């Protein structure tokens, strides 16, 4: 397979190859795909190029990974009928790419206004300035120019400051989190996570046998400080995972008073904190200080990704940490992320030029404009059935049923009508959100939104009531 970097990006050719492989005639059911190394050897490209292609397909829902088993895919012509998949997340992933499916399950804010084209144009310019034979070897922890920029971007004071040596860049968020789990020795350890929590994080923790305790976000967006203190006192908590400013998928902001109270509690207990800043750039009102500025920076790690606001061309994940330098450096070296130095430089220069900040202001406005008609219609048509968490940023809406219903019935009915939602149970290990769902807001004409909201309303009205079901069991 011959790929010319000047005329085409290698991962795009790999993407097309995988697409054809998935949809080859005769493929039925789940298809096991080649490993990263196998495919790199077969196509004579780097492992990082394969990772780019797989990341794009996974983002599109055409490919899904299974811990310790590899990557799998479903032909796009196939439809996973309700109940056929034993795993709800697998059902969501597979059906997301079915022909004619209206996907309302995704959290992909950058797709509204991606920076992919400017990024790739800048990368081409840099390739002309730095031909491949003149490029320095890739740095295992990420390109120095991008690490330096991130350190400066996250520095807010002399106390809460970062340097390039504190920044580590990996191929994607999952890869970075896997390294953190190894470095922090979280296998079989106890970790507190805010709930609801992104399914990618929950599944990853489960795959490493981490004991997860969920700390639910209350209806007003706060945490119960008394419950948190009791957990920190009674449980051997190795780490707590919290959002910086914007809590996704819940969509709420971290209220100032509660944020200060939580920070004081964590500092007094000396708790290690892992701050999730993946959606921090998408908070509508950026005046609030992030959680990290209230914590001890020497017992803090911050992780994030560019993908939520730049797009799939910037899948890199990164972590900031003042501690654990030898272990982090060793694990990043052993992991051998083969990241494109030019792509990383292009990302750094997009930020340095101010292009990203300008883009963020436009992106956040467009996301608000897309959320607003959904919220208005839901209040108007479904207000008696659903409570809406008014989103403070991002591209999704969190909804909770006002009555106890079987949310799986809502999911299955909509799936039969080619509408895919994300049930709340995906965002909890302990079943805390079985009465909730998350919608990814999409554009479209008013009549299309009316149809989708109408279908959702019908599914909610026809769903069995769980209190009635329990009563029938007791009296039957």
Q: Is the bond preceding residue 193 a cis peptide, omega within 30 degrees?
A: no
User: Is the predicted pLDDT of residue 343 greater than 70, yes or no?
Assistant: yes
**pLDDT at residue 419, rounded to an integer:** 92
> Rounded CA gap, 49 and 70, in Å?
17
| Digit-coded pLDDT (tens) for 424-475 | 999 999 999 999 999 998 666 677 888 899 999 999 999 999 864 443 333 3
Average pLDDT, integer, range 373-402:
95
**pLDDT at residue 86, rounded to an integer:** 65
pLDDT bracket for residue 70 (50, 70, 90): confident
| Digit-coded pLDDT (tens) for 162-218 | 999 999 999 999 999 999 999 999 999 999 999 999 999 999 999 999 999 999 999
User: Is the predicted pLDDT of residue 74 greater than 70, yes or no?
Assistant: no
Burial class (CB in 10 A: 0-12, 13-18, 19+), 92: buried
**pLDDT at residue 29, rounded to an integer:** 60
Burial class (CB in 10 A: 0-12, 13-18, 19+), 418: middle
| Digit-coded pLDDT (tens) for 117-138 | 999 999 999 988 877 656 667 7
User: Is the predicted pLDDT of residue 78 greater than 50, yes or no?
Assistant: no
Identify the CATH class of 1-78: mainly alpha
Q: What are the two backbone dihedrals, phi and then psi, of residue 139, each rounded to the nearest 5 degrees?
A: -90, 130
227-236, 258-267, 286-295: range with lowest mean pLDDT: 286-295
Spell out the residues 6+ positions from residue 170 whose beta carbon is closer than 8 angstroms to its own: 142, 176, 179, 316, 317, 318, 319, 332, 335, 337, 339
> Rounded CA gap, 386 and 399, in Å?
6
**pLDDT at residue 5, rounded to an integer:** 39
| Digit-coded pLDDT (tens) for 131-162 | 765 666 778 899 999 999 999 999 999 999 99
pLDDT bracket for residue 95 (50, 70, 90): confident
Average pLDDT, integer, range 358-382:
95
**pLDDT at residue 469, rounded to an integer:** 44
**pLDDT at residue 173, rounded to an integer:** 93
**pLDDT at residue 226, rounded to an integer:** 96
User: What is the third-level CATH fold of 118-353?
Assistant: 3.40.640
**pLDDT at residue 474, rounded to an integer:** 37
**Percentage of the chain exceeding pLDDT 90:** 64
> Rounded CA gap, 78 and 236, in Å?
46
pLDDT bracket for residue 7 (50, 70, 90): very low
> By C-alpha distance, which of 436, 365, 357, 347 is closest to 145?
347
**Percentage of the chain exceeding pLDDT 70:** 89
Q: Where are the domains of the chain?
A: 1-78, 118-353, 360-475
User: Is the predicted pLDDT of residue 287 greater than 80, yes or no?
Assistant: no
Provide the 3-class DSSP secondary structure of residue 171: coil
Pick among 2.40.40.20, 3.90.1150.10, 3.20.20.80, 3.90.470.10: CATH of 360-475: 3.90.1150.10
Average pLDDT, integer, range 396-416:
95
Average pLDDT, integer, range 90-97:
86
């Amino acid at each position: 397979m011959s790929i010319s970097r000047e005329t085409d990006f290698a991962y795009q050719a790999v993407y097309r190859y995988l697409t054809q492989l998935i949809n080859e005639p005769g493929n039925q059911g789940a298809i096991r795909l080649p490993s990263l190394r196998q495919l790199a050897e077969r196509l004579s490209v780097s492992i990082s190029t394969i990772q780019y292609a797989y990341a794009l397909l996974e983002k599109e829902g055409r490919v899904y990974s299974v811990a310790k088993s590899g990557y799998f895919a479903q032909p796009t012509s196939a439809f996973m009928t309700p109940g056929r998949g034993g795993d709800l997340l697998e059902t969501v992933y597979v059906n997301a790419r079915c022909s004619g499916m209206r996907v309302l399950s995704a959290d992909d804010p950058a797709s509204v206004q991606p920076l992919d084209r400017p990024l790739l144009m800048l990368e081409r310019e840099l390739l002309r300035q730095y031909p491949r034979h003149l490029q320095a070897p890739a740095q295992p922890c990420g390109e120095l120019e991008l690490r330096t920029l991130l350190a400066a971007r996250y520095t807010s004071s002399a106390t809460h400051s970062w340097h390039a040596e504190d920044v580590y860049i990996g191929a994607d968020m999952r890869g970075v989190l896997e390294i953190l789990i190894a470095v922090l020795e979280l296998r079989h350890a106890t970790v507190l996570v805010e709930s609801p929590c992104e399914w990618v994080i929950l599944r990853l923790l489960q795959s490493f046998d981490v004991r997860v305790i969920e700390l639910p976000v209350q209806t007003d967006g706060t945490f119960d400080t008394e419950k948190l203190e009791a957990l920190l006192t009674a449980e051997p908590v190795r780490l707590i995972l919290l959002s910086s400013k914007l809590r996704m998928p819940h969509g709420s902001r971290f209220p100032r008073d509660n944020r200060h109270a939580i920070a004081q509690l964590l500092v007094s207990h000396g708790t290690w904190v892992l701050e999730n800043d993946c959606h921090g750039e998408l908070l509508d009102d950026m005046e609030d200080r992030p959680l990290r500025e209230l914590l001890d920076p020497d017992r803090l790690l911050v992780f994030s990704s560019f993908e939520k606001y730049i797009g799939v061309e910037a899948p890199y994940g990164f972590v900031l940490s003042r501690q654990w330098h030898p272990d982090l450096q060793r694990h990043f070296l052993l992991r051998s992320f083969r990241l494109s130095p030019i792509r990383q430089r292009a990302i750094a220069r997009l930020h340095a030029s101010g292009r990203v900040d300008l883009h963020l202001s436009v992106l956040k406005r467009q996301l608000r404009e897309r959320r607003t008609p959904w919220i208005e219609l839901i209040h108007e048509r479904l207000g008696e059935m659903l409570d809406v968490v008014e989103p403070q940023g991002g591209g999704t809406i969190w909804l909770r049923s006002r009555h106890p219903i079987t949310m799986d019935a809502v999911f299955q009915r909509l799936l039969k009508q080619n509408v895919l939602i994300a049930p709340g149970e995906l965002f909890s290990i302990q079943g805390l959100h079985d009465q909730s769902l998350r919608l990814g807001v999409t554009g479209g004409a008013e009549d299309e939104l009316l149809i989708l909201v109408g279908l959702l309303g019908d599914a909610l009205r026809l769903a069995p009531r769980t209190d009635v079901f329990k009563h029938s069991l007791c009296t039957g």
